[in-house]
Structure 1
Amino acid sequence: MVRKLLSLCAALFILIQTVTAQSNLYDLIKASPEHRILSLLIDLYGYDDDLINSPVPLTIYAPTDAAFTTLGPYKLISILSNPEEEIGALLGRHVVIGKFTAANIMDGQQMLTITSELLTVGLTNGVYTVNGVEVITADIPASNGVLNIVHEFINPTATGNTIADIITTSPDHQAIASILSTSGLEDDLRGEGPFTVFAPTDAAINALDPLFVQELLADQAGKLRSLLLYHITFGNFTSSSLTNNQEILMSNGQRVTITFDGDIMMVNNIPVTVKDIIADNGVVHSIDTVLIPELDESNTILDIVARSPQHTILFASIALNGLDESLRSEGPITLFAPTNAAFEAMPQGLIEDILLGGNSAKVLLRHITNGKVYSDSLEDFSSIVMLDGSEFIIYRNQDKLSIAEIIGGDLVYPLANITVKDIEADNGIVHVIDAVISPIQNYTLYQSLVQSSNHRILQGLVNLLGMKEDLDSPDASLTLFAPTDDAFSKLPQEVIDTILNSDLDQVATILGYHVVPTPLSLSELTEGFSFKSITNADLRVYKFGNVTYINNAKIIQGDILTNNGILHVLDDVILTPDVVGLKVLSQRDGKIFPNPVSDQLNYDFTGYLSGDLTLELLDATGKRIGTYKQAPQGYISTAGLETGVYQLRVTDQSSLLTKPFIVVR
């Protein structure tokens, strides 16, 4: 990704600077004693060539080793566990296209990074900042740019403009701005997005045939809306992210084709005159010709969804999952179409998880069945099978038709009501529904444990402690972090002994750490997110790439949706600072060195841990590699370990400490 952006940016620079005897950016970072970790990341993942042979001058704000210590305890492992995405974003956010020194920039000036993010310069009372981060050492000259040193990571900021703001304030786009405002689409383009808009200039609008304009104005809800939507798509399509002959599904259900003629980007053979105008919620490309869609009154199921302002979320998901051709095909099929309000009524985070996650296409197929299913053909308790294999029944609920799921031949509960029925399409029927038919299991959190062969210990503790009623109540709305039987079996012996010797109230407190009084989906469990259990224990989220940890415990299966909450399976029992007498120490307590390490990792926990320590060596996935009994100060051999990320988990009689480290060969 970084290499591609660098090569594309080369066209922005016409003058070729003469290479001097100065060191290049890579050599400067490599030689700096403050940038060992950054240098390691550059070497490990092959970005050295980019910083040596960049086709354009660059300005780098290089975070020191001290910056890495400010990360959460698992963030470094997250970076190394997902290098293509994490390292590219981390480095790219600190690399600006062009050569900027403190002498040639102004307060408030914005600079574009190679990841298309904007950084804002601050120059106040002699203090030089970038997005609020102070530049400690500025303007170190390099043969291919400038190096600056920062002690913190730079976070991106918004540009201050939505797509709607950019279009409405552009003197060349007043006509399209007015039309978008009248149509109601302007408000949509102020939304979260991301969107990509091909914005025709005033000259493009004025060049339209007056008779064609009259035709559009005579059918504003149909032809005019379709034309406007033909210029808008869901997603962030910058020119660097597009390839020659790539097709993009636009919001009216029709596709455009992107081509390139050298540096010129074209959409349907129309040149893009100004590309990559970055907004808070997407990107704008300016064009001098209006894109004309097919206005032949096509009325497929996809057309109906695309034209409906109440189904923009559904259409976006259809587009993202490549199901548009299925809904445009001959059919016949029947679509049960949830409205925007139906999606927005879902628990926070579940829209992204259900519609944009790994099973999103399957979820959409739960709303489609083969054949034309008219409402008057549905007898009470008629059965229909959806394209994902789910079986539902349609039954009459007073004056409405409702959908319910069949479990073991019994009606469990309504899933959705049909609010608008029998919308005829060329290739089938559309029924509008008031809820998303999400893949929620039709049993409780407790029943989930009963059905699991890996939660016998947890189920037994729940029964013993009288928590069954809480986890089995249909009125509950909880999150359960469920340690497996293996998780209990690999607890440190000191913890097991303490649990066995505790009274039931203490054990109930421990179990309560695993129950949260609100439903939390994986999308809400972001790096650094803190929350409370039902026993008021402090819980915190750490990320290893795509892997999520709650305190010390890894989620190995997440987002099991039940009818009274969300269940996440853990491979460890959650430990907190007060769990069974163990104090969980900070990542900054004690020290391990060197880090990165090659053959021998030294440690010193004097003053933090005492007596005989239990040292457990874990890989990045949490798998135990070795266990040692040692003193508070000493070393362990890492000679047999491959390059990668590891953890050292250490316990004494009263405390627990975990430290990540890197092995380099």
Structure 2
Amino acid sequence: MKKHTGLLTLSLMLATPALAGGAGAPMAPMPAAACKSIAQIVMTDPNFSTLATAVEAAGLGQTLMGGQYTVFAPTNAAFAKLPSDTLAAALNDPAMLRSILLYHVVPGKVTAKQVMTMSSAKTAQGGSVLINVMGGKVMVDNATVTKADVMACNGVVHVVDTVLMPAMAAATPAPVTVTTPAPAPAPMPAPVATAPAATDIMSIPAMPVGMTTTTTTTTTTTTDTAATTTTAATETAVSSNTVYDQLVSDERFSTLRDLLSDAGLTDLLINNEFTIFAPTNDAFAAVDPETLAVIASDPDTLKAVLTYHVVQGKVTGEQVAAATQLRSEQGASLNFKLDGSTQMVNEAMVDGTPVEASNGYIYAINQVLLPPDLVLPTPAADAATTDMATTDAAATTATGTTSTVTVVTLPAAQAGTNITEVLAQPQFSTLLSLVQKAGLVDALMAGDVTIFAPTNDAFAKVPQATLDMLMADNDKLKQVLLFHVVTGRVVDDGLNVAQLRSMEGSSIDLMADGSSYKVGVRSGDAITGGVVASRSDAGNSVIYPIDSVLIPPTMK
């Protein structure tokens, strides 16, 4: 998905804040201490020290002093989840950094109550964030709002636990204008500033979660590295009962422990609250040696596989037993069910009771889990075979997880200028009317999406009682429609995965079927859903007609 960023209109920086007043003589200006601007909140709260550094590096400090904005503010712990090279690259690329930060900003003041009524919000970066309320928690893209309604003089801050990442355009970003409901002078282009000097990622102050600090004397800045190291050692005590410590002390997990170290994930499991579904040594021994060697030799693939076993927060045994699906740190969801008295995670069995650590839980499992969207690196000797149009649709690995091995190219139909033009075709008239009724047109037009679009014939198969229920309940209608939509442009080998994450929040299962695909909800070796045979391009979005209406598993 391409989202365009560029010049930021900063005219609101020049506006003079209005003075409070009433009938009669004007009141005196409100004392500065009465409220803080968004910039001041970010700059003065130690939990936002990384964000503060990024805001300054991007030259957005003055912008967040005025205007009216809503900011989804990532904490230091949120930034700690980013790979260090990704964070360093952003800090040293002003355009990229500005794009990422503006993706966290929504013009105008949007309170938590208002956020909970929204399905998406247009950001100052130009793209839209997706908003879902799941289990009493507000999700913004893949981030959870951990604290809401931190009020500022010029807006509101909602604290999030994950950095929101827009899809970055490869080309030079296009201009974007930030506007607010408040009156403002005529828009002015942002002044061209000299690019800031490279930022040293090691210089960013941080307060990782999971560490306790005891200060015995007044903090003193010193240039003596040795003295600084000694002081830190005497003032900071790290818990010795973290998830990682428990893995190290249990010989059942020695293979997992070594792979976590190779992937650079040890600090993540020490400094944050996580629950890990931990494959035992026997589970890794059951994986095909060549497959395991490919995974272990590629850092990105190894990190993807390992983080697929990790869920954020301390998830108790009762919560696991009650869950049907939890989002992994890798991004794809893990499926849960009870098979009699046996707890299952995907196709793996949980062995024994969970091990509690100071910052999470460990559940031993008997199989290695592979993300449904995982594509293993192709060995150089096999590269010549990757351009096959069609071969076998899928293969089952030693772990029991379905892994696709083919690329099926679907023919593209006539392209349209935008989504509504494509959906204006007669075969989509029912779908278009429902999208309009649900108020989703703007959300679908805000960014690049892929739509598995039921035709009129598909809707004709739906029982009338179900249609009546959807027409009477707009929330359920939105839920069903968004289950057909995936963020980003998914074409060609992008379809060659076992699952895609829908905007509704649940996963859509896919299965190659000759020159087409089946999409829907998997049950055993079959998929209940529709058949995809062609596509229509709508700008940077794409629409696939399907012959059945998909019902999200959360509604069953």
TM-score norm. by structure 2 comes to: 0.30
Which is bigger in relative contact order (C-alpha 8 A, separation at least 6)? Answer: 2
Q: Which has the larger radius of gyration?
A: 1
TM-score norm. by structure 1 comes to: 0.26
More strand by percentage: 1
